[in-house]
Structure 1
Amino acid sequence: MTDQEDFVQAIGEFCRREVDRKQGPHSDELYGKLADLGWLGLSLPEEYGGSGRGMSDLVLFLEETAFWRAPIGGFATTIIAAAAYEKFGSEQQKREILPAVVGGSVLAISMSEPEAGSDVGALSCRAERRGDGWVINGQKTWCSNAHYADHILLVARTSPGQGKHEGMTMFSVPAGVDGLAVHGIDTMGGKEVNDLYFTDCVLPADAVVGRVDHGWRQLMTGLNLERMILAAVMLGTARRAFEDALDYVRERRQFGKPIGSFQALRHRLADHATELECARLLVHDVARKIEESPDTSLPREASMAKLKATEFAKAMALDGMQLLGGYGYATEYGMEALLRSAVVSTVYGGTSEIQRDIIGKTYGL
């Protein structure tokens, strides 16, 4: 058995023992246990307490924890934000943030605004110099996990007179800072996302992450990671929807035999199995390519992985609802929760339409 097979087996054994589907989207208790195992620092450098493992292992961890429905909703945004601190943060910021992430600290990242969603370059939340620091004013929205994050990585406009992709800067915002109000947004999945209101929020000069006015360039370097995280989570979600549907049609009997024996359903599951294998091969192949060339931008491949995994997860969970019939709507069976997770995955982190546009542009279209 390879190291990765041992790793996957260990995740499965942990989740079978510790995961309770009633724990909600994020359990501090279970998150702490993962921290004790060293798994939250899987992709972070060893010098900051991490394991220094590559994209392939991170994808495996995300896929398996999603498959077992582990309540670690804060992990995805944490790793995305942590990567920005690792690449662009000062040594002081790295020493403060990264070991805390390994120990269970949650991070959020805030880009979207009411008038700036897919068009992130249209953001208008302002950061103005005042004395030795900065003053933030404006609204952010759809910020995942901000209500329990220890730090929020904020992208704000620092030089409004420049082009739309110029004059942005990243800031490290500690939770509970004066001038920041966090309000949860009611959604199908509960309150997992938030509106953020900045009113004369004062940050010190050393809150800048990276270079002033270079926030857009810094964001672009993280796109491979963000899309692969989302692809891996939805690959695991799709696997769970498929396995749950398969188990059900094997056991559910109508007209004297299991409903999975009917050709109409058997063929649908065969198609889903084929699509699942295609998604799995694509996601893991792109992860391997990124691991082999970590400094190479792979916009086409990463967008393909995100597009394929999220769209298939949505289609699989939706048909899983149909295959389970009335039981698909029962929270006891969990398919409705998988559908809620899968539907929004085609929106956040760049919509499916944006991913298709990116892929098309890589072909000169």
Structure 2
Amino acid sequence: MGSRLTEEQSAFVAAVRDFAKRECGTRQQRDALTGGGREAHHPGLYGRLAELGWLGVCLPEEYGGSGGGLADACVFLEETSYGMVPAGGFVTTVIAAKAYERFGTDRQRREVLPGVVRGDVLSIAMSEPEAGSDVGALRCRARQTADGAWVVEGQKTWISNAHCAKGILLVARTGEDKHGGLTMFHLPARTPGVEVRGIETMGGREVNDVFLTDVRLPADAVVGQVNDGWRQLMAGLNYERLFLASNMLGLARRVFDDALGYVREREQFGRPVGSFQALRHRVADLATEIECTRLLVREVALDCDAEPDRLFPREASMAKLKATEVAKRAALEGMQMMGGYGYTTEFDMERHLRAAVVSTVYGGTSEIQRDVIGKTYGL
């Protein structure tokens, strides 16, 4: 990827790396920013990213963005992930922002997108207790009243960043058809009737239950068209899967560098453990897998930028599948190479593993990605 970056992108990468090294380059800095690893998002640091103009990397200039493409956003996500910058709110924010950009009204775009550039976090509420991989089975319902307003009732779960979001892109049922009865809504997070409860996980505070009780939204809260939510969701899969892939590509690179640094220094039997063939071959295999992943993610991002109206279900799913599985494998291998030290909280490896394992579940499990890929071959 490095050799294929434009001059502007190379300068951008250098700037992000410098920021990460300066602001969170030590374990002490990262622990202070994340509550010892429990919080994936630090509002203050996120605000500084906004001041630098980086949060609008792929948003139109008319809303304060930089006017960059999908490849630019992927570069940013990869580098912030590699640098362990606690900006976890960016992934859901940029995915939601692209939906507003593509399907929102002029008023919605003017209300939401400049806020994203300034540092507002957005969340996406799709999953429910009985509707995870099968999003079309969701039951959270929005009914329209006589005056055109909407009343929403239901529960969402596993909602990333809802606890720090200013706005939520809500997907609710408005019709009886499984896929043809879904609609997107713009839901300000502090709307009366919205309750957010954190879900404790081994990764800390990232996901939430969202309870919606008699939530009233105006008629113009619809994002896109009524009952067209499924098609709109499918149109955004390129963004979602590539952003998640880029995030995990950055993590895989970080895992590799941390493990490599350890096996170069750690000595047993009178020499560095990395000099033993068993570990040297593991390092070689991981390096090759990460480089393959880097080339795949970059190529798919460039293809999507070249044809922004085209869906790339096979390629986007391949990128998400490959990057998340490689990140998980890298973290497991890294822990094995570090032995007991990889398991201790003194080092970052156990934190890397917690972040990598769940990536094969959220945003469409690895099994779902394989199923999508298989179907594109007529199977």
Residues in 2 aligned to 1:52 and 1:87: alpha-carbon distance in whole angstroms: 14
What one-letter code is carried by the residue in structure 1 that aligns with 2:188? P
1:290-328 C-alpha deviation (Å, 9 max, x unpaired): 111111111111000000000000000011111111111
Q: 2:71, 2:230 → 1: CA distance?
A: 26
> After the TM superposition, which segments of 4 or more aligned residues of structure 1 sit over 6 Å from their partners?
none
1:174 aligns with 2:188: yes
Q: Which residue of 1 aligns with 2:172?
A: 156
1:99 aligns with 2:108: no
Please tell me the root mean square deviation across aligned C-alpha atoms, in Å.
Answer: 0.9
Name the counterpart of 1:84.
99
User: Partner residue of 1:136?
Assistant: 152
**Paired amino acid for 2:329:** A
Greater CA deviation, 328-337 or 113-122?
Answer: 328-337
Q: Say whether residues 1:14 and 2:19 are aligned partners.
A: yes
Deviations 1:214-245 (A, max 9, x none): 11111111000000000000000000000000
**Per-residue deviation at 1:2?**
1.6
Corresponding residue of 2:293? 279
The separation in 1 between residues aligned to 2:164 and 2:12, in whole angstroms, is 29
Match of 1:147 in 2: 163
Indicate the residue corresponding to 1:188 in structure 2: 202
- The aligned amino acid for 2:118 is G
Q: Cα offset for 1:53?
A: 0.3
1:110 aligns with 2:115: no
Partners of 1:191 and 1:12 in 2: CA distance: 25
Q: Name the aligned partner's letter for residue 175 of structure 2.
A: S
Amino acid at match of 1:294: P
Residues in 2 aligned to 1:57 and 1:208: alpha-carbon distance in whole angstroms: 29
Inter-partner Cα distance in structure 2 for 1:48 and 1:111? 26
Once the two structures are superposed, the pairs formed by residues 294-333 of structure 1 within 5 Å of their partners are 294-333=308-347
2:261 corresponds in structure 1 to 247
Give the secondary-structure state (helix, strand or coil) at the position aligned to 1:144.
coil
Show CA shifts across 1:229-273 (max 9, x none): 000000000000000000000000111110001111111111111
Equivalent pairs counted in the alignment come to 363
Bigger strand fraction: 1
Letter matched to residue 42 of structure 1? V
What secondary structure, in the 3-state scheme, does the structure 1 residue paired with 2:164 have?
coil
Matched, 1:235 2:249: yes
Kindly indicate whether residue 83 of structure 2 is the aligned counterpart of residue 68 of structure 1: yes
1:221 paired residue among 227, 235, 259: 235
- Between stretches 326-335 and 146-155, larger displacement belongs to 326-335
Deviation at 1:330, TM superposition (A): 2.0
Equivalent position of 2:139 in the other structure: 124
Q: 1:6 Cα deviation (Å)?
A: 1.1
Distance 1:159 1:286 in 2: 35
Deviations 1:55-110 (A, max 9, x none): 11111110010001100000000001001111111111111100000000000000
Q: CA deviation at 1:28?
A: 0.8
AA aligned to 1:142 is W
Question: Partner of 1:41 in structure 2?
Answer: 56
2:214 aligned partner, one-letter code: D
SS at match of 2:333: helix
Q: In structure 1, how many angstroms separate the alpha carbons of the residues matched to 2:49 and 2:101?
A: 21
Q: CA deviation at 1:4?
A: 1.4
CA distance in 2, matches of 1:102, 1:111: 24
SS in 2 for 1:190: coil
Look up the SS of the partner of 1:143 in the other structure. Answer: coil
**Any stretches of 5+ residues in structure 1 without a counterpart?**
none
Counterpart in 1 of 2:3?
none
In structure 2, distance between residues paired with 1:21 and 1:331? 13
TM-score, normalised relative to structure 1 = 0.98
Task: Provide the residue aligned with 2:362 in structure 1.
Answer: 348
Identity %: 65
- Hey, what's the Cα distance between the residues in 2 that align with 1:308 and 1:315? 10
Partner SS state of residue 108, structure 2: helix
State the shift of 1:340 in Å: 0.7
Q: Distance in 2 between matches of 1:56 and 1:175?
A: 30
Paired with 1:57 and 1:343, the residues of 2 have a C-alpha distance of 26
* In 2: Cα distance, 1:300 partner to 1:54 partner: 20
- SS of the equivalent of 1:116 reads coil
